Structure 1
């Protein structure tokens, strides 16, 4: 149901996304260990296989299942039978379903669930699984609304299940280097960060529609698609191919645009390295905001208070081709990546990260990088993003993007889309009470009323 992402970033010099897939598969072949050593109460020992179900198994979901295929793939659910056909063929023994609620109720043997639906179904599918005690790997962003992100993180914490959000860059070597260099004081105290993505464009072309109105045509629903189940909790609207299978990302009812699609990748190392939580305020500007879709381009500014011995931080996000000012430290012969990137501004220097998810960090100018004495590696290296989750399901070990991390990250990003939807301006955020204090009408966009039959 969710389209595979294009790898728009340049490969990390230490580990690439392709390499991660190989690592994930290799790491899943965990050594046989007796149950009493690592299994523990309520856990599956590494020597035994999990029973895994997929919800949304075309596109990105197919790739996610490939990365956990060392386990028993016992059930598959997708509302689009044609799109899921390839995955059905790869796992012929798995039971097939259209409605994940029916699947989870019938297949009692399921231990863990991979959720890769469009964003608007993430929360209801994930919460259903959590309430049934299932471990969950959910694609990014964790949810479509701020309220859902808070609720999902809380439920997972209370249930004690293993979780991982699908921002695979959290497994990159570059992600860890960013954290270690910031902690080492490589650029001093960081007070400002710039992050960007060209989405909804890619290579100069529109990747999915934004800044458009709802289609007037109402063509017939394909016989292989259950449109009512595809809509799930979202308000009813007639079927149109403008929404499926990929372009739902730009529609307010279904997605969260470039900020939700790539901001969740690019800002993850910022949140982890700077120990960010909830912003105190958000300010946004954009091209024309439509009732139905996100704008073609936007700029979002977040303000974070001092925390954990770190100073206040201003975080600036740019999408749709918008870019920050090019730092002189890049040198005369180098331009900013127009696709994805980061600039950390410290009081003793700058760090430039080219590509998505934390690829290729380096201090600038180049001479600064050459002279830098890299600190010892203090963070554990990843065995692979999916493999981390599988091991956590079996042993209770940690994952890099569990819902305690992914929830607040998703909340902050979606608060930016709320600000954009309000037409820009500034929102003051009371995180504890989860409300906008200076513009009460913005609070209606923190969540919405689900259609009958759907609930968290």
Structure 2
């Protein structure tokens, strides 16, 4: 069934814009005289609500601050009230925005919202995103798009059918560096790519934890713990879970791979026009029932969208790294950074550090200046602005929309399924199942606790 996209505020903006045009016929005062050059009147701004406004969520609020921030929602009032670096807390920066603890109440009451940012722990991404889309709101959801593959399939399908303007929060997708990287590969700088290596310094939190903490400290009075747990199986509060270390626990996060995979695997996914992997095989330090391992190495086999050949994408975390390519010695800062990728072609190598301005080209083990490749991909005004502009009907398109981000997210999460089963998996994306290890399919979807549904 097609889902109707209810967009009352688009009609509001259209009416106000037309009204402004009509009024202009009776005055000779230019708008910039009233508001300053570059001024955008409130009638042309989106009404945006933000769910999860502390930590990374605070950065996302800032990213859309060119618009009207009308509502802020967070289950952790202490976290929401904290500054992040030089950014004042969202509550202090936007004092007129209405404050909520429960996103469902916010979406029910705030009928004038155009769009929502979702910057919660991973286990809440699908729930909040889907609820906002059901209300006809456009969505910006942090990476990973969802915690499970089943959630990912549902969220992507709904967004497409409902005509939602979407963006996943892998901000590097808007940077200049990946565009140069893609253009070099597409213009044959290293020949045919046969393998890609992606590494990260994550986790920088504890993983590989054998059992839950046993002590039971009191729940802070500023935290709604039941809402924080959300659709996951209920457990007693402990500071080992939040505000940051939830990433290690399968009920709440997807480990180092889920944290950085949608950033670093985005580069080969985009450059080689990949879709679903054919197979996934992983090795790791000990895997416990409830937590991601301390270190993992995962090999994905894809079919390249460029030439139809097989290509391996290998993932490393927890201190594991690929062999350092000859010629990169002058870029040790890149090698020791948060993470990066190595594209190995039959004529050369490209090394790209996460969020770096450009890649390093190596030919026969020596660095080579590649000049300026022919521009193929339009340059981005910014990850958040892409999304905002598309909602407004401007020429920019959100390039990490869910149709793109969903398959990337699916591929990333399959790595964790391989790690948890300890088996090589053969993947059938169309039918959403592992075909050779049936028991692996239990990790594709996990039941929500009573009172929660997607």
TM-score range, shorter chain: 0.7 to 0.9
Aligned to 2:373: 375
Q: Please, which moves more after superposition, 329-338 or 126-135?
A: 329-338
Aligned to 2:413: 414
| C-alpha separation in 1, matches of 2:378 and 2:127 | 33
Offset of 1:337 from its aligned partner? 2.9
CA RMSD of aligned residues (A): 2.3
Aligned to 1:363: 361
Aligned to 1:445: 443
The answer to whether the 8 A contact 1:268-1:357 is kept is no
1:176 equivalent to 2:176? Answer: no
1:73 equivalent to 2:69? Answer: yes
| C-alpha separation in 1, matches of 2:19 and 2:196 | 47
C-alpha change, 1:371 and 1:238, in structure 2 (3 Å) is: closer
Within a 5 Å distance, the mapping from 1:21-420 to structure 2 comes to: 48-85=44-81, 86-201=89-204, 207-331=205-329, 334=332, 336-337=335-336, 339-354=338-353, 356-357=354-355, 359-365=357-363, 369-395=367-393, 397-420=396-419
| C-alpha separation in 2, matches of 1:359 and 1:200 | 24
C-alpha change, 1:448 and 1:363, in structure 2 (3 Å) is: same
Q: Secondary structure at the match of 1:53?
A: strand
Per-residue CA deviation, residues 178-216 of structure 1 (Å, 9 max, x unaligned), is 111111011111110000001003xxxxx3444342111
Per-residue CA deviation, residues 244-294 of structure 1 (Å, 9 max, x unaligned), is 101101111111111111111111121111001100100000001011110
C-alpha change, 1:186 and 1:444, in structure 2 (3 Å) is: same
The answer to whether the 8 A contact 1:282-1:302 is kept is yes
Report which of the two structures shows the higher radius of gyration computed on alpha carbons: 2
Aligned to 1:16: none
The answer to whether the 8 A contact 1:352-1:361 is kept is yes
The answer to whether the 8 A contact 1:208-1:250 is kept is yes
Q: Secondary structure at the match of 1:391?
A: helix
Q: Secondary structure at the match of 2:91?
A: helix
The answer to whether the 8 A contact 2:342-2:350 is kept is yes
C-alpha change, 1:166 and 1:36, in structure 2 (3 Å) is: farther
The answer to whether the 8 A contact 1:330-1:366 is kept is no
The answer to whether the 8 A contact 2:328-2:367 is kept is no
C-alpha change, 1:421 and 1:45, in structure 2 (3 Å) is: farther
| C-alpha separation in 2, matches of 1:61 and 1:191 | 37
| C-alpha separation in 1, matches of 2:387 and 2:368 | 36
The answer to whether the 8 A contact 2:348-2:364 is kept is no
Q: Secondary structure at the match of 1:263?
A: helix
Offset of 1:82 from its aligned partner? 1.2
Q: Please, which moves more after superposition, 357-366 or 88-97?
A: 357-366
| C-alpha separation in 2, matches of 1:47 and 1:95 | 19
5+ residue gaps in structure 2? Answer: 1-15, 21-39, 82-88
The answer to whether the 8 A contact 1:287-1:298 is kept is yes
Offset of 1:358 from its aligned partner? 6.0
Q: Please, which moves more after superposition, 259-268 or 278-287?
A: 259-268
5+ residue gaps in structure 1? Answer: 1-32, 38-43, 202-206
| C-alpha separation in 2, matches of 1:300 and 1:45 | 50
Per-residue CA deviation, residues 330-369 of structure 1 (Å, 9 max, x unaligned), is 3588583363111101111111112x25653111149865
| C-alpha separation in 2, matches of 1:400 and 1:334 | 31
| C-alpha separation in 2, matches of 1:63 and 1:332 | 33
Normalising by structure 2, report the TM-score.
Answer: 0.86
| C-alpha separation in 1, matches of 2:308 and 2:116 | 37
Moved over 4 A (4+): 33-37, 44-47, 331-335, 365-369
Q: Please, which moves more after superposition, 330-339 or 142-151?
A: 330-339
